[in-house]
């Protein structure tokens, strides 16, 4: 039996995961980033980026950012409402939390497919419902459709699938807050708003950050749902763009645009991490 | 008193609205699959409730090759779950021995690897797998999907291990158990809920995964790819029925095992 | 073979800048019941964990039976430890908990069964042995943990506050039992506690630990009668040792125990009774004495009331120079045991 110094035990156990990540993630990532700065003849250059700019990468980036922010906002608002309902208990609570599992267990492709039937350019279930309430139809994703409308339906479809995860994490956060705190605050005369601001949110920060990291990364990479909702590239997200490019031998392009996405999300994550540490030291 | 009653009503109104939101898309899927097409996709404004029933599309759906992709999906999902535990448990144990801040830093580093879009990694990966003769195999797809799954798995398991009393490990070692036996005989059984949650979430993420699957396993595809292919081929109605066949069992599974899908596990490190 | 069971040579441990203990040197004799006494949070538990290896010391050597075990893997040191939390494996029955260390040492199944059952019988837990450990009482948990430690016949037993989680009533009887078990096994026990009554009753020798430093090692009576410094005098004893400034020398103090005083009709020191505490037949009088900020505690057979003016003489005292013991005086006092010995 090999003797491991107690000091190195953690490293020894983390090593397989590190090795796996290094080989399958770090290495391809760095070579993609490196490749994005190479021309076909192997010279270092930014030509790929220039070409990419010509292909309209900016709109893909703006679309991705808007979708990410919008989807996170919707998922957090709905998730918080659901978590607040579940934390207080009511008759039928178990049935309601079972319903949460429906989107959770539905494959993204299936969700995308369902919503592509909901949002039809003319007619469709969404317009049918709008008409029911006396509202006029919307051209959701036909030719000449408004890109804000496109983004909204993508956000709705994605949020249907992913709100339950956010709700579950926020519910964990809400249950972790001792009831005494609320009672004490109520005794001190705090109304529901100041309880929300002074007790709920500060105690929830860590959970919010985790949900943000888990969901945010996926939102930036949003692809399958977009592919199913807009099979004709009506609305390109960053990864959808990569998918279109990947079919062509433009590997370095892909690498280039990826780098941009990488940096964007990286910044978002560092900000999130800073908040994690801030909340830790604050406790 | 009246205020309290009003709040009770408000809760139920919110619950009913949210329930409809969760259920309605599934209901639409059922209508597409079991209501004659003239009331659904062939009418400009499809009926919002079932106006008839047919099993025709369901029968057509059964003609879609289910068995091969099902086996492939199951195989890959179980591999992804098993690998998540095989790599994740040691890593989480190792991290739990470090200072919490350092452990949080490293597990965030793992999350960073998720930043890279799957597509960018999938293509060079496909090249590598071709070299090793692993292209299109279940193991290669599982290895790729593990990238998305592992960071979250480590995070969940880290929370589970950090929550265990420190003395137990010391006691087992003093009692004469080696490091490996301590981890597998004492710590892992005690972290059971976290371990099950990890496996389940890894399994479901693999079941749902699309991007790696389409690039790395085009010849023997998984279920999501089959669904996608049939939609692009215009085989819409049968696909609806097919989608139901593959979705309902997972929903039932998730409802039955819901106690392991709690946010406490997803929020892993926070409870430690 | 060394005459000592366990030797700690210059061991230190710190977490970053926080020193847990520093340069600890200890020699523990074979078959000794050794108690490490100190206030909470002074590194006692960490010292025990350093001996087991679960918290490896930064420097120094640990020698068990003459062998350096500093770098020996934890599971191959012949040490049993009982944690303050009992650290029972919650997924196992009491039986499996007790059998666990034997199984880890590859002992024959029949022998394991025999030893688990006889140990359980000795500790009177044979009727709960098949219960899950989460379903038994605190006292029973303590016994299961103790059984798990002694079932192995290790070279040395480490007990970390083994009695502190028990109700007062069970604590006294268990304390006696623990002493009996040690006498029966004739093994070396190291017992960590913050409770000096445990040190007094159990210990052959006591080490007093304060903020990671060893203050004094000796029998309880030695430490009680001749604390090496004012801190030990203050910490050890039901009531702290009294210290009075010497009139002629500002750096010198005399230290005396409450029972080293005698109330007189005249002369001696004038004092005023501030409060009275009765333990058995003895009254402990807290008195204000001119020139002393802290109340002085003296004993009396007679009852006094608050506000009474009394005179007392000191029959025996130690001399402290800048807080350190420089002179032991005291006559026949060597054998004088403090009054609590007679009670309980």
pLDDT digit string (tens) for C57-102?
999 999 999 999 998 888 889 999 999 999 999 989 999 999 999 9
Short-list C100, C253, B236, CA closest to A110: B236
Q: What is the pLDDT of residues C40-54, one digit of tens each?
A: 888 899 999 999 988
Contact of C57 with chain A, judged by CB distance below 8 Å, is answered with no
Alpha-carbon distance of B216 to B232, in angstroms, equals 19
Alpha-carbon distance of C61 to C65, in angstroms, equals 13
Spans of chain B, pLDDT less than 50? 271-272
- Higher per-residue pLDDT: B98 or A270: B98
Alpha-carbon distance of C241 to C224, in angstroms, equals 9
* Mean predicted confidence (pLDDT) in A259-264: 57
- Higher per-residue pLDDT: A166 or B37: A166
* Mean predicted confidence (pLDDT) in C115-127: 91
Q: Are B59 and B215 in contact (CB under 8 A)?
A: no
Neighboring chain B residues of C85 at a CB cutoff of 8 Å: 165, 167
Query: Pairing state of beta strands C156-160 and C18-29?
Result: unpaired
For residue A61, being part of any structural domain is answered with yes
Number of domains in chain A: 1
Q: Two tokens at C298?
A: 């003296």
**Nearest Cβ partner for C105 among B167, B170, B176:** B176
Q: Which residues have a Cβ under 8 Å from the Cβ of B26 and sit 6 or more positions away?
A: A102, A106, A114, B247
Q: Two tokens at A112?
A: 């995308």
Beta bridge partners, C218, equal C206
Domain B65-271 - what CATH class?
Answer: mainly alpha
* Interchain pair C56, A6: CB under 8 A: yes
pLDDT value, residue B58:
83
pLDDT value, residue B117:
75
Q: What percent of chain C has pLDDT over 70?
A: 95
DSSP structural state of residue C337? P
pLDDT value, residue A262:
56
pLDDT value, residue A221:
77
- Higher per-residue pLDDT: A113 or B38: A113
Give start-end residues of each CATH 1.10.3720.10 domain in chain B.
65-271
Polymer length of chain B: 272
**Taken in order C152, C155, C160, C163, is the CA torsion positive or negative?**
positive
Please tell me which chains touch B, using 3 or more CB pairs under 8 Å as the contact test. A, C
Domain segments of chain C: what residues? 4-225, 239-330
Q: Are C42 and C210 in contact (CB under 8 A)?
A: yes
- Count CB atoms within 10 A of the CB of residue B63: 10
Confidence of residue C159 (pLDDT cuts 50, 70, 90): very high
Q: What is the largest CA-CA distance in chain B?
A: 74
Please give the torsion angle defined by the CA atoms of residues B145, B146, B148 and B152, in that order, rounded to the nearest 10 degrees: 150
pLDDT value, residue B201:
92
Alpha-carbon distance of B213 to A205, in angstroms, equals 35
Mutation target for B interface from C78, C99, C100: give the one with most B CBs within 10 A: C100
- Size of the A and B interface in Cβ pairs below 8 Å: 272
* Interchain pair B171, C104: CB under 8 A: no
Is A3's pLDDT higher than 70? Answer: no
Confidence of residue A283 (pLDDT cuts 50, 70, 90): very low
Q: Quick one: how many helices (H) and strands (E) in chain C? A: 8, 19
Please give the torsion angle defined by the CA atoms of residues A24, A25, A29 and A30, in that order, rounded to the nearest 10 degrees: -80
Q: What is the pLDDT of residues C306-318, one digit of tens each?
A: 988 999 988 888 9
Q: Are B164 and B97 in contact (CB under 8 A)?
A: no
* Mean predicted confidence (pLDDT) in C120-146: 91
Please tell me which chains touch A, using 3 or more CB pairs under 8 Å as the contact test. B, C
Tell me the three-class secondary structure of chain A, residue by residue. CCCCCHHHHHHHHHHHHHHHHHHHHHHHHHHHHHHHCECCCCCECCHHHHHHHHCCHHHHHHHHHHHHHHHHHHHHHHHHHHHHHHHHCCCCHHHHHHHHHHHHHCCHHHHHHHHHHHCCCCCHHHHHHHHHCCCCCCCCCCCCCCHHHHHHHHHHHHHHHHHHHHHHHHHHHHHCCCHHHHHHHHHCCCCHHHHHHHHHHHHHHHHHHHHHHHHHHHHHCCCHHHHHHCCCCCCCCHHHHHHHHHCCCCHHHHHHHHHHHHHHHHHHHHHHHHHHHHHHHHC
pLDDT value, residue A65:
81
Q: What is the pLDDT of residues C262-307, one digit of tens each?
A: 888 887 888 999 999 988 888 899 999 887 888 889 988 888 889 8
Q: Two tokens at B58?
A: 């369901």
- Count CB atoms within 10 A of the CB of residue C60: 18
Which CATH superfamily, name and number, covers C239-330?
Nucleic acid-binding proteins (2.40.50.140)
For residue A114, being part of any structural domain is answered with yes
Q: Are B32 and B40 in contact (CB under 8 A)?
A: yes
pLDDT value, residue A56:
66
Contact of A180 with chain C, judged by CB distance below 8 Å, is answered with no
Q: What is the pLDDT of residues A134-149, one digit of tens each?
A: 888 888 877 777 888 8
For residue A223, being part of any structural domain is answered with yes
DSSP structural state of residue C40? T
Q: What is the pLDDT of residues B36-70, one digit of tens each?
A: 887 777 777 787 788 888 888 888 888 888 889 99
* Interchain pair A13, B250: CB under 8 A: no
Among A29-38, A119-128, C145-154, top mean pLDDT goes to C145-154
Short-list A229, A247, A264, CA closest to A58: A264
Is A277's pLDDT higher than 70? Answer: no
pLDDT value, residue A107:
92
Which residues span the domain enclosing A178? Answer: 53-121+148-282
CATH of the domain at A66: 1.10.3720.10
How is domain C4-225 classified at the architecture level of CATH?
3-Layer(aba) Sandwich (3.40)
Short-list B205, B111, B109, B93, CA closest to B159: B93
Q: Please give the span between the terminal C-alpha atoms of chain B, in angstroms, as a whole number.
A: 41
pLDDT value, residue A123:
72
For residue A179, being part of any structural domain is answered with yes
Contact of C81 with chain B, judged by CB distance below 8 Å, is answered with yes
Confidence of residue A197 (pLDDT cuts 50, 70, 90): confident
Q: Which residues have a Cβ under 8 Å from the Cβ of B81 and sit 6 or more positions away?
A: B198, B199, B200, B202, B203, B206
Neighboring chain A residues of C70 at a CB cutoff of 8 Å: none
For residue A109, being part of any structural domain is answered with yes
pLDDT value, residue C338:
40
Confidence of residue A57 (pLDDT cuts 50, 70, 90): low
pLDDT value, residue B169:
92
């Amino acid at each position: 039996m090999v003797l491991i110094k107690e000091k190195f035990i953690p490293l020894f156990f983390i090593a397989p995961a590190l090795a796996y990540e290094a080989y399958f993630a770090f290495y391809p990532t760095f070579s993609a980033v490196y490749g994005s700065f190479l021309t076909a003849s192997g010279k270092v250059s930014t030509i790929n980026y220039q070409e990419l700019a010509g292909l309209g990468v900016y709109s893909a980036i703006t679309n991705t950012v808007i979708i990410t922010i919008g989807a996170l906002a919707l998922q957090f608002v709905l998730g918080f409402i659901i978590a607040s309902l579940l934390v207080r208990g009511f008759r039928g609570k178990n049935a309601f939390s079972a319903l949460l599992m429906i989107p959770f267990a539905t494959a993204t492709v299936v969700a995308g497919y369902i919503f592509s039937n909901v949002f039809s350019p003319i007619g469709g279930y969404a317009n049918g419902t709008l008409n029911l309430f006396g509202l006029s139809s919307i051209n959701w994703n036909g030719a000449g459709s408004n890109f804000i409308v496109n983004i909204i339906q993508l956000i709705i479809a994605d949020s249907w699938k992913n709100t339950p995860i956010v709700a579950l994490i926020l519910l964990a956060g809400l249950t972790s807050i001792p009831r005494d705190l609320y009672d004490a605050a109520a005794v001190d005369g705090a109304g529901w708003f100041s309880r929300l601001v002074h007790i709920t949110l500060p105690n929830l920060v860590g959970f919010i950050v985790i949900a943000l990291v888990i969901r945010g990364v996926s939102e930036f990479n949003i692809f399958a749902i977009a592919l199913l909702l807009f099979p004709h590239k009506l609305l390109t997200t960053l990864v959808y763009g990569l998918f279109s490019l990947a079919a062509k031998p433009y590997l370095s392009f892909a690498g280039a645009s990826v780098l941009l996405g990488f940096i964007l999300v990286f910044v978002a994550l560092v900000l999130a991490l800073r908040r994690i540490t801030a909340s830790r030291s604050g406790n | 008193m009246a205020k309290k009653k009003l709040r009770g009503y408000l809760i139920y109104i919110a619950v009913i609205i949210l329930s409809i939101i969760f259920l309605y898309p599934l209901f639409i899927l059922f209508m597409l699959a079991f209501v004659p097409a003239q009331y659904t996709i062939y009418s400009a404004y499809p009926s919002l409730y079932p106006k008839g029933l047919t099993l025709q599309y369901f029968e057509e759906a059964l003609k879609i090759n289910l068995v091969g992709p099902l086996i492939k999906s199951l195989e890959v999902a179980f591999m992804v779950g098993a690998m998540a535990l095989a790599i994740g448990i040691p890593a989480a144990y190792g991290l739990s021995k470090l200072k919490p801040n350092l452990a949080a830093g490293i597990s965030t580093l793992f999350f960073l690897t998720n930043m890279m879009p799957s597509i960018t990694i999938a293509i060079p990966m496909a090249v590598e797998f071709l070299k090793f003769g692993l292209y299109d195999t279940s193991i290669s797809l599982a290895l790729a999907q593990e990238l998305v799954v592992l960071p979250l798995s480590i995070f969940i398991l880290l929370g589970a291990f950090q929550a265990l009393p420190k003395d137990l490990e010391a006691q087992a070692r003093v009692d004469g158990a080696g490091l490996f036996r301590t981890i597998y005989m004492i710590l892992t059984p005690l972290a059971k809920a976290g371990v099950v949650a990890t496996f389940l979430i890894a399994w479901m993420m693999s079941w749902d995964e699309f991007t790696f699957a389409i690039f790395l396993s085009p010849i023997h595809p998984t279920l999501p790819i089959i669904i996608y292919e049939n939609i692009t081929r215009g085989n819409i109605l049968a696909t609806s029925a097919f989608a139901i066949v593959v979705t309902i069992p997972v929903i039932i599974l998730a409802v039955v095992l819901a106690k392991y899908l709690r946010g406490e596990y997803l929020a892993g490190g926070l409870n430690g | 073979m060394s005459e000592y069971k366990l030797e700690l040579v210059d061991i230190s441990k710190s977490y970053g800048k926080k020193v847990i203990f520093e340069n600890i040197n200890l020699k523990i004799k074979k078959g000794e019941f050794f108690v490490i006494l100190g206030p909470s949070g002074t590194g006692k538990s960490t010292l025990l964990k350093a001996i087991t290896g679960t918290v490896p010391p930064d420097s120094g050597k640990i020698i068990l039976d003459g062998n350096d075990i500093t770098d020996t893997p934890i599971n191959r040191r012949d040490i049993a430890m009982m944690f303050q939390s009992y650290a029972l494996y919650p997924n196992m029955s009491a039986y499996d908990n007790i059998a666990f260390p034997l199984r880890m040492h590859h002992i024959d199944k029949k022998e394991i069964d025999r030893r688990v059952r006889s140990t359980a019988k000795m500790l009177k837990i044979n009727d709960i042995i098949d219960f899950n450990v989460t379903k038994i009482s605190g006292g029973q948990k303590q016994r299961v943990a103790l059984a798990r430690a002694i079932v192995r016949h290790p070279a040395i037993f480490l007990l970390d506050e083994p009695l502190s989680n028990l109700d007062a009533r069970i604590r006294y009887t268990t304390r006696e039992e623990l002493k009996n078990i040690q006498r029966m096994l004739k093994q070396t026990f190291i017992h960590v506690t913050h409770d000096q009554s445990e040190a007094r009753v159990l210990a052959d020798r006591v080490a007093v630990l304060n903020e990671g430093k060893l203050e004094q090692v000796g029998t309880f009576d030695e430490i009680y009668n001749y604390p090496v410094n004012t801190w030990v005098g203050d910490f050890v004893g039901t009531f702290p040792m009294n210290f009075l400034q010497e009139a002629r020398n500002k750096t010198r103090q005399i230290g005396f125990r409450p029972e080293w005083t005698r109330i007189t009709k005249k002369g001696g020191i004038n004092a005023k009774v501030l409060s009275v505490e009765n333990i058995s037949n003895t009254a402990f009088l807290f008195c204000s004495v001119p020139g002393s900020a802290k109340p002085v505690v003296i004993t009396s057979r007679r009852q006094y009331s608050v506000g009474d003016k009394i005179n007392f003489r000191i029959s025996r005292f130690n001399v402290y120079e800048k807080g350190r013991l420089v002179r032991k005086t005291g006559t026949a006092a060597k054998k004088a045991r403090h009054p609590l010995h007679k009670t309980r």
